[in-house]
């Protein structure tokens, strides 16, 4: 393949990546995640029923679901396949954004959001955030073994900035990605979308979080401040396939919402924590179609260094969410 | 001529395009069959508020329905001629009641036409029917059914449009900065040149002394 010749740093061809071996640390991380997930599911105990009122198309409905087990996605399964496929995010009681795969906790009213809503602000933001975490997942495994990769974080997503971002520490002092290497990254992102992987959400305690991220010093440093900021002293982690990352969420329901993607640049940024690479990309949901000329304009703009907050040492992982972000504005 | 009434004021001006000449709507029963068909369509339109018919029949009948509603609004239910017309063109008599009691209040203050006509999908030609007829959907405005045409969605908030809008803003800002710089450099050049000439003249003046 052509990629073999030009990718000095990345695992050469696109094909070889798919049959990669799980490294022991990733395996260990996943075991911990699975154990915690199982523990939480078992902790539900006796199954109680809750009344879920669905508002929206094709018609309003009232569903009786299982407390702490049923998710908005399960509600959608009762209603329509169309809803299962297109829903990105749920809006609980008209104020809380809720992941599609997060169990509902009490009687509530659910609305399902998608990219073609009249005001898709929250869907777009969620999409951008999910793109960042997917980029992190790709970056953590796409480099050759001799390159040390330590994911740092990503600033809170703003679609208007023109690109989604992940800040990463690489053991490469001076690396300028070639267009072919960027194309490999883009291809990996799209492959992740083809695999149709649901985003798994888990809320865990500080001890477990530190155990999960013991191999990543940046994340370890961030965990105490995250715990401090959160209301219940928990850390929220997400898993895509075998990649686990910290984010307050919410994330979109599945990687298959992801359509077209280009990773456009990796800027070197000097920060308090050392030299980081700011990977930037632009993507569109599968539901959106755009001609190549317009997409080219967006791509071109995304190459400029994103003005998102630079990582700092004492700086919190993500700025505390403003009310607009956590609570959906009534449309 | 001055004593003659203006014809345009005798009949209501309809808010839909009307052909200069009526359609004959070929029918085995002759002109009587044409009238029968139009009566059936007008009645169905008032009854169901949305119907699908052959395009030419429907377009012809639409004018009759519009005229009936328009006259009913203009003259009310005490006007003898209007009532006779309604009685003739509407086959089911309870619909005459509907015309004056339901449709007149509904359309009293509208500025657009009372009915709407949309093209129905053209069926695929089959061996049995190689010349499918054009069909149309006629509806009374303000009917209780779901809309046939989606209301225009404000799509500025879709993700690609947000991105494009921001790109546009950035491009414009860059262009304006460029223009401003250009103007500035030109102004500088001009002032440089003028100051030079001033110096020259000053020198010229000093030399003869």
**Ramachandran area for residue A109 (φ above 0: left; ψ -120 to 50: alpha; else beta):** beta
Question: Does A248 share its domain with A184?
Answer: yes
Residue with tokens 């063109």: B89
Question: Does A84 share its domain with A180?
Answer: no
Q: Do B167 and A159 count as a contact with CB atoms less than 8 A apart?
A: no
Question: Does A84 share its domain with A222?
Answer: no
Query: Which of A110-114, A269-273, B164-168 is least confident?
Result: A269-273
Q: Report the residue from B154, B163, B166 with minimal CB separation from A118.
A: B154
Which residue numbers in chain B have pLDDT < 70? 1-2, 151-154, 196-209
Q: Report the residue from B153, B158, B162 with minimal CB separation from A160.
A: B162
Per the structure, the count of domains in chain A is 2
Chain A residues closer than 8 Å to B174 by CB = none
Q: Residue A326 pLDDT > 70, yes or no?
A: no
CATH number of the domain bearing residue A78: 3.10.20.30
pLDDT at A57: 85
Q: Are A159 and A269 in contact (CB under 8 A)?
A: no
Question: For residue A274, what are its two tokens?
Answer: 């050392």
Give domain status of residue A325, yes or no.
no
The residue among A57, A83, A114 that closes a domain is: A114
pLDDT at A19: 45
- Distance of residue A258 Cα from the nearest chain B Cα, in angstroms: 13
Q: Are B44 and B98 in contact (CB under 8 A)?
A: no
Q: What distance in Å separates the CA atoms of residue B153 and residue B166, rounded to the nearest whole number? A: 20
Q: Are B89 and B42 in contact (CB under 8 A)?
A: yes
Tens digit of each residue's pLDDT (9 = 90 or more) over A76-87: 999 999 999 999
Query: Which of A18-27, A103-112, B27-36, B111-120 is least confident?
Result: A18-27
In A, minimum Cα distance to B152 occurs at: A118
Q: Domain residues of chain B, as ranges?
A: 7-140, 155-206
Query: Which of A198-207, A238-247, B146-155 is least confident?
Result: B146-155
pLDDT at B180: 96
Burial B36-63 (b: 16+ CB within 10 A, else e): ebbbebbbbbbeebbbebbbebbbbbbb
Q: Give the distance, in angstroms, between the CA of residue B15 and the centroid of all CA atoms in the same chain.
A: 11
Confidence label for A18 from pLDDT (cuts 50, 70 and 90):
very low
Give domain status of residue A140, yes or no.
yes
In chain A, the percentage of residues whose pLDDT exceeds 70 is 89
Give domain status of residue A3, yes or no.
no
Q: What number is the average pLDDT over the span A229-234?
A: 87
Question: Does A170 share its domain with A304?
Answer: yes
CA angle A64, A68, A70 (to 5 degrees): 50
User: Looking at the complex, does the CB of residue A116 fall below 8 Å from at least one CB of chain B?
Assistant: yes
pLDDT at A110: 96
Q: Do A116 and B158 count as a contact with CB atoms less than 8 A apart?
A: yes
pLDDT at A132: 95
Average pLDDT, chain A: 87
Q: What distance in Å separates the CA atoms of residue A8 and residue A133, rounded to the nearest whole number? A: 24
Q: Are A131 and A165 in contact (CB under 8 A)?
A: no
CATH class, domain B7-140, is alpha beta
pLDDT at A230: 86
Report how far apart, in Å, the C-alpha atoms of B130 and of each of A240, B120, B124, B206 are. 55, 18, 8, 101
E strand or H helix at A109 = strand A108-113
Give domain status of residue A255, yes or no.
yes
Among A159, A164, A307, which would you mutate to test the B interface (most chain B Cβ atoms within 10 Å of its Cβ)? A159
Q: Residue A39 pLDDT > 60, yes or no?
A: yes
Q: Tell me the count of A-B CB pairs closer than 8 A.
A: 48
pLDDT at A313: 54
Q: What number is the average pLDDT over the span A43-50?
A: 94
Q: Do A301 and B159 count as a contact with CB atoms less than 8 A apart?
A: no
Which of the pair, B152 or A162, is modelled with greater confidence? A162
Task: Provide the pairing of β-strand A108-113 with A49-54.
Answer: parallel
Q: What number is the average pLDDT over the span A307-320?
A: 62
Give domain status of residue A2, yes or no.
no
Q: What distance in Å separates the CA atoms of residue A22 and residue A19, rounded to the nearest whole number? A: 9
Q: What number is the average pLDDT over the span A35-54?
A: 94
The residue among A75, A96, A114 that closes a domain is: A114
Domain coverage including residue A153: 123-317
Residues 6+ apart with CB under 8 A from A243: A26, A136, A137, A140, A141
Give domain status of residue A26, yes or no.
no
Q: Residue A112 pLDDT > 60, yes or no?
A: yes
Question: For residue A46, what are its two tokens?
Answer: 């006796």
Give domain status of residue A250, yes or no.
yes
Give domain status of residue A273, yes or no.
yes
Q: What distance in Å separates the CA atoms of residue A171 and residue A274, rounded to the nearest whole number? A: 11
CATH number of the domain bearing residue A310: 3.30.980.10
Q: Do A294 and B153 count as a contact with CB atoms less than 8 A apart?
A: no
Q: Are A92 and A109 in contact (CB under 8 A)?
A: yes
Question: Does A78 share its domain with A184?
Answer: no
Question: Does A178 share its domain with A307?
Answer: yes
Q: Report the residue from A161, A162, A288 with minimal CB separation from B158.
A: A288
Question: Does A127 share its domain with A110?
Answer: no
pLDDT at A329: 36
How many CB atoms are located within 10 Å of the residue A171 CB? 11
Chain B residues closer than 8 Å to A160 by CB = 162, 166
Beginning with the edge strand found earlier in the chain, give each strand of the sheet holding A243-246 in spatial order: A200-204, A235-240, A243-246
């Amino acid at each position: 393949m052509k990629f073999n010749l030009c990718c000095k740093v990345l695992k050469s061809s696109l094909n070889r990546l798919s049959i990669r071996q799980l490294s022991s640390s990733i395996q260990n991380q996943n075991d911990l995640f699975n154990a915690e997930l199982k523990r939480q599911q078992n902790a539900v105990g006796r199954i109680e029923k809750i009344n879920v009122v669905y508002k929206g198309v094709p018609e309003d409905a009232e569903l009786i679901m299982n407390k702490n087990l049923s998710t908005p996605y399960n509600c959608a399964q009762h209603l329509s396949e169309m809803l299962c496929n297109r829903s990105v995010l749920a809006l609980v009681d008209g104020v809380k954004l809720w992941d599609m795969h997060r169990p509902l906790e009490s009687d509530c009213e659910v609305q399902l959001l998608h990219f073609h809503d009249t005001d898709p602000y929250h869907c777009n933001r969620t999409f951008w955030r999910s793109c960042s975490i997917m980029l992190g997942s790709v970056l953590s495994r796409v480099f050759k073994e001799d390159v040390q990769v330590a994911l740092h974080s990503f600033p809170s997503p703003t679609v208007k900035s023109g690109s989604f971002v992940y800040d990463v520490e690489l053991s490469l002092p001076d690396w300028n990605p070639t267009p072919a290497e960027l194309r490999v990254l883009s291809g990996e992102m799209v492959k992740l979308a083809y695999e149709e992987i649901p985003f798994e959400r888990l809320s865990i305690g500080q001890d477990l979080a530190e155990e999960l991220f013991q191999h990543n010093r940046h994340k370890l440093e961030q965990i105490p401040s995250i715990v401090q900021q959160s209301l219940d002293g928990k850390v929220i982690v997400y898993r895509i396939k075998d990649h686990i990352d910290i984010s307050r969420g919410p994330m979109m329901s599945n990687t298959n919402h992801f359509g077209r993607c280009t990773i456009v640049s990796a800027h070197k940024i000097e920060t308090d924590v050392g030299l980081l690479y700011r990977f930037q990309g632009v993507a569109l949901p599968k539901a959106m179609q755009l001609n190549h000329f317009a997409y080219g304009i967006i791509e071109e703009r995304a190459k400029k260094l994103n003005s998102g907050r630079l990582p700092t040492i004492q700086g919190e992982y993500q700025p505390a969410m403003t009310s607009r972000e956590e609570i959906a504005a009534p449309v | 001529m001055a004593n003659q009434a203006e014809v345009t004021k005798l009949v209501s001006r309809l808010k839909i395009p009307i052909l200069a000449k009526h359609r004959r709507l070929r029918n085995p029963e002759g002109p009587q069959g044409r009238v029968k068909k139009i009566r059936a369509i007008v009645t169905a339109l008032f009854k169901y508020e949305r119907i699908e018919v052959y395009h030419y029949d429907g377009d012809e009948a639409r004018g009759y329905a519009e005229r009936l509603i328009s006259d009913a609004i203009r003259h009310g239910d005490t006007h003898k001629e209007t009532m006779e017309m309604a009685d003739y063109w509407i086959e089911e008599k309870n619909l005459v009641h509907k015309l004056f009691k339901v449709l007149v209040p509904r359309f009293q203050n509208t500025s657009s036409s009372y009915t709407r006509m949309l093209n129905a999908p053209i069926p695929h030609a089959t061996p049995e029917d190689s010349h499918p007829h054009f069909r149309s959907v006629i509806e009374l405005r303000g009917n209780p059914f779901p809309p046939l045409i989606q209301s225009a969605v404000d799509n500025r908030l879709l993700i690609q449009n947000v991105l494009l809008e921001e790109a546009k803003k950035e491009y414009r800002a860059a262009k304006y900065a460029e223009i401003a710089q250009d103007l500035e450099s030109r102004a500088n050049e001009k002032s440089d040149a003028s100051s030079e000439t001033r110096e020259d003249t000053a020198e010229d003046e000093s030399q003869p002394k």
